[in-house]
Structure 1
Amino acid sequence: MRRLWVAVFLAYLAFGGTLQLLPATLSTRFHSDAAFIGLTVGIAFAATALCRPIAGWAGDAGAGRRIVIMGAALTLAGTLGQGLAATEWQLLVSRVVMGAGEAGVFSGALPWVWRQVPPHKRGSASGLFGLSMWSGLAIGPLVASIAVLGGQHVAWLALAALSLGSLAVATATTASGRVRLPRFTLEALWVRGMAAPSVMFGLTAYGYGTLSAVLVLYLDSGPGGSSLGLPVFAVAFLLVRVTGSRLVDRAGGRVVAAASLIVEAVGFAVIIAAGTAAGVLVGVALVGAGCSLAFPAAVGMAIARSPHHAAGSSVAGMTSFWDLGILTAGVGAGILAEALDFRSAFVAALAAALLALIVAVSMPSHP
């Protein structure tokens, strides 16, 4: 499944790169305000949230390869659309297309991967395969920061090349197995037992969404170091994910989730209190470390509470709450930053992390 890992990684490199490019692109090309920038960043995650459960349902039925290829094609179309957009609304539509593509690429692939591991190891397997998505999201901003040195047009072309690479690799993958699509019903998209892990995961995502929407603008407004903010998050995130994914199988999803959320909350407290770039970046690193194991921990809890045959649908639906959390944060953080100040946006993210912690520690082991 190395090709599958690479296909997802390349798609999310492009997606992550847009998080770095969009604020500057919207500011210089369209003179957009912070609220609209937050909406534009977040709206892709709305499309992803809507499409993930369908992709997971199809993946459970063996249609993973078709869904991944379709997702990669939509990612390419969305990337090109954002780079070529002549109006704000054209860019918004392109973000929706890209968001739908990202849902297909990852949520169609994950059930395919699970077929090769025993059920009790799916938490750690999800964490390690999930590096394809999360490392792309994390490293993508760094790639965009380097590419934009040649100008915004060059940077958008670089992201389009990554999307094209994802499509090429996905097309070269072998079949994911026999396709047996059952009759589609809306009830199939909501699996018993996924509610509590989904809410926890969505609240955790609010912090990442806040950083994605306003961190670059905040650092540009005073502290400095805007080119380092998201890459610092990326480094902390990846280090903890690589070294800590297997903790979910050993300590359990609830313990790992609680510890991660405490670290995330401390990180936002540091960002709020810090007055220098160095202090803010320390807080960003803590948030990255805290967010890192949220996915494998939530997967472990969701799988333990869901029927075996619907694991892909369960986790895809749960992951939709991550997208909804980022969407809410993108819009909310932009509005708070515009109406009050940037620190108020980080206070809201701290409150979300603490609420997620309460949900995690009070969650029963079984639905």
Structure 2
Amino acid sequence: MDAAIGQSKNFSYSIISYVFFTFIGYFIIGLSLSILPIFINKGLGFSMLVAGIVISLQYVMTFVMRAYSGKIIDNQGPKSAVLTSMLSFSLTGIILIVAYYFKFSPIVSLGFLVLTRLFTGSAEGMIGASPINWAIMALGEKHTAKIISYNGVACYGALALGASLGVTIIKNFSFYGLGILIFILGILGYLFARTKENMSNKRSAIEEEQKSFWNVLGKVAPFGLCLALGGLGFATISTFITLYYDYYHWQNGAMCLSVFGVLFVAARLVFSNAINRFGGINVAIVSLAVEALGLTIISLSYHPYFALIGAGITGLGFSLIFPALGVMAMKTVPSSNQGSALAGYGLFIDISLGVTGPLIGGVADAFGLPYIFPFSIGIVMLGLALAYYLKMNQSK
């Protein structure tokens, strides 16, 4: 019994040693996520639409880099992608310091912030699937589900922690301290990655999978679109919650991201078997409904504490949408194409995050910040309707 427990712990530590790179990457992303919109809008004097566009450049670049990252993993192994990602994250810290130094010239400062977002997006694109692939190659494909689960916890846990800590660092050490911390974290991740053994990708029929990618993408698109609609609720919170709190003169808007992340992680851990028990599409429908409920609570909140509750419920709902719909998407293709299916399916969350900034920023500029969450509720409800339609189609 003790030996079995020891083996289980060692195996968990092995997974953690790979998804640790995901944690570093998304912790760095979280550090600036909650403070850049306010700096662009209040510090530099640009509109919320501009702030949304600048923030979303990261996700556009992530979208572009995912395919390139896949080629690097296939040809050189995931270690190369992780190393490149860590160096790119370090570079964003240096550029962030320069952007803050030129705050007296808003256009110049904004230009460096654009560079920061582009390099952050490149780093995220390279780190996205690399630790997962690295762990699978090292530990075996039979552990894929557990590895993906650990990676999701590392991702959103890091975002939540980083968003909260970023505000504290800015208050005490300004952007200079934040940039130095980001640089150091990236270098530490790079040095740790260098100590780990690279793995070669031994999957067969790679060329065949690449040729059929667009066909596979078409098959997973209905589930990916549903994911994208659901992802807009999370993206609205992550990009605009600090501005939303500032509008109502509330304090600690970044706490919403932390509460969101905590409930997201909790749902992944507590309800990990729900998809197997009740089916992916049923879990997706319930999850989208819970997410819409959380956004509604934020929209109707007259006190920041209620908004925190709404953010937590939103995180609880959003948590299982990706794996629930992902299971359904994987069933639409043969096993030889599941790698392409997962890559194509994942692109839709990048699209959702990339579109949200300018879309919600435009809504805020045109109608006012109080309208961004009612708009988001409507989009998530469209996702709920699509999920229900897919369920009805499935039962025919």
Query: TM-score, normalized by length of structure 1?
Result: 0.90
Alpha-carbon offset, residue 186 of structure 1:
6.9
CA separation of 1:261/1:139 partners in 2, compared to 1, >3 Å: closer, same or farther? Answer: same
In structure 2, distance between residues paired with 1:173 and 1:42: 33
Give the alignment partner of residue 305 of structure 2, picking from 278, 282, 290.
Answer: 278
Q: 2:54 touches 2:117 (CA, 8 Å); kept in 1? A: yes
What secondary structure, in the 3-state scheme, does the structure 2 residue paired with 1:190 have? helix
In structure 1, distance between residues paired with 2:280 and 2:64: 25
Give the alignment partner of residue 155 of structure 1, picking from 163, 178, 181.
Answer: 178
| Residue 350 (structure 2) pairs with residue 316 (structure 1) | no
In structure 1, distance between residues paired with 2:358 and 2:114: 13
What secondary structure, in the 3-state scheme, does the structure 2 residue paired with 1:275 have? coil
Instruction: Provide the residue aligned with 2:116 in structure 1.
Output: 94
What amino acid sits opposite 1:168 in the alignment? L
Give the alignment partner of residue 41 of structure 1, picking from 50, 55, 80.
Answer: 55
Give the alignment partner of residue 11 of structure 1, picking from 14, 25, 30.
Answer: 25
CA separation of 1:55/1:311 partners in 2, compared to 1, >3 Å: closer, same or farther? Answer: farther
Instruction: Provide the residue aligned with 1:129 in structure 2.
Output: 151
Larger Rg computed on CA atoms: 2
Residues 356-365 or 85-94, more deviating: 356-365
- Deviation track 1:293-328 (CA, whole Å, cap 9, x = no partner) reads 122223322222233234333222222211211121
Alpha-carbon offset, residue 145 of structure 1:
2.1
Residues 205-214 or 245-254, more deviating: 245-254
Q: 1:253 touches 1:297 (CA, 8 Å); kept in 2? A: yes
- Deviation track 1:99-128 (CA, whole Å, cap 9, x = no partner) reads 111111122232333454556x74454223
Instruction: Provide the residue aligned with 2:192 in structure 1.
Output: 169
Percent sequence identity is 22
CA separation of 1:134/1:227 partners in 2, compared to 1, >3 Å: closer, same or farther? Answer: closer
Q: 2:34 touches 2:166 (CA, 8 Å); kept in 1? A: yes
Instruction: Provide the residue aligned with 2:363 in structure 1.
Output: 336
CA separation of 1:251/1:114 partners in 2, compared to 1, >3 Å: closer, same or farther? Answer: farther
Give the alignment partner of residue 238 of structure 2, picking from 199, 207, 212.
Answer: 212
Q: 1:272 touches 1:346 (CA, 8 Å); kept in 2? A: yes
In structure 1, distance between residues paired with 2:339 and 2:193: 19
Instruction: Provide the residue aligned with 2:98 in structure 1.
Output: 84
Alpha-carbon offset, residue 39 of structure 1:
0.9
What amino acid sits opposite 1:217 in the alignment? L
In structure 1, distance between residues paired with 2:339 and 2:55: 26
Instruction: Provide the residue aligned with 2:315 in structure 1.
Output: 288
Instruction: Provide the residue aligned with 2:10 in structure 1.
Output: none
Instruction: Provide the residue aligned with 2:224 in structure 1.
Output: 198
Q: 1:245 touches 1:296 (CA, 8 Å); kept in 2? A: no
What amino acid sits opposite 2:60 in the alignment? A
Q: CA RMSD of the aligned region, Å?
A: 2.6
Q: 2:21 touches 2:131 (CA, 8 Å); kept in 1? A: no
Alpha-carbon offset, residue 73 of structure 1:
2.0
What amino acid sits opposite 1:232 in the alignment? V
Instruction: Provide the residue aligned with 2:7 in structure 1.
Output: none
What amino acid sits opposite 2:380 in the alignment? A
Instruction: Provide the residue aligned with 1:138 in structure 2.
Output: 160
What secondary structure, in the 3-state scheme, does the structure 1 residue paired with 2:199 have? coil
What amino acid sits opposite 2:166 in the alignment? A
In structure 2, distance between residues paired with 1:2 and 1:222: 40
CA separation of 1:335/1:112 partners in 2, compared to 1, >3 Å: closer, same or farther? Answer: same
Unaligned ranges ≥5, structure 2: 1-14, 103-107
In structure 2, distance between residues paired with 1:318 and 1:79: 31
Query: TM-score, normalized by length of structure 2?
Result: 0.84
Q: How many residues align?
A: 365
CA separation of 1:300/1:79 partners in 2, compared to 1, >3 Å: closer, same or farther? Answer: farther
What amino acid sits opposite 1:170 in the alignment? A
In structure 1, distance between residues paired with 2:246 and 2:368: 13
In structure 2, distance between residues paired with 1:230 and 1:279: 14
- Deviation track 1:181-240 (CA, whole Å, cap 9, x = no partner) reads 955997454352321221111111111111122110111111513242222222222221
Q: 1:117 touches 1:125 (CA, 8 Å); kept in 2? A: no
In structure 2, distance between residues paired with 1:238 and 1:218: 24
CA separation of 1:166/1:306 partners in 2, compared to 1, >3 Å: closer, same or farther? Answer: farther
Residues 204-213 or 233-242, more deviating: 233-242
Instruction: Provide the residue aligned with 1:247 in structure 2.
Output: 274
What amino acid sits opposite 2:266 in the alignment? L
Instruction: Provide the residue aligned with 1:108 in structure 2.
Output: 130
Instruction: Provide the residue aligned with 1:348 in structure 2.
Output: 375
Q: 1:268 touches 1:349 (CA, 8 Å); kept in 2? A: yes
What secondary structure, in the 3-state scheme, does the structure 2 residue paired with 1:175 have? coil
Unaligned ranges ≥5, structure 1: none
Alpha-carbon offset, residue 62 of structure 1:
7.0
CA separation of 1:302/1:348 partners in 2, compared to 1, >3 Å: closer, same or farther? Answer: same
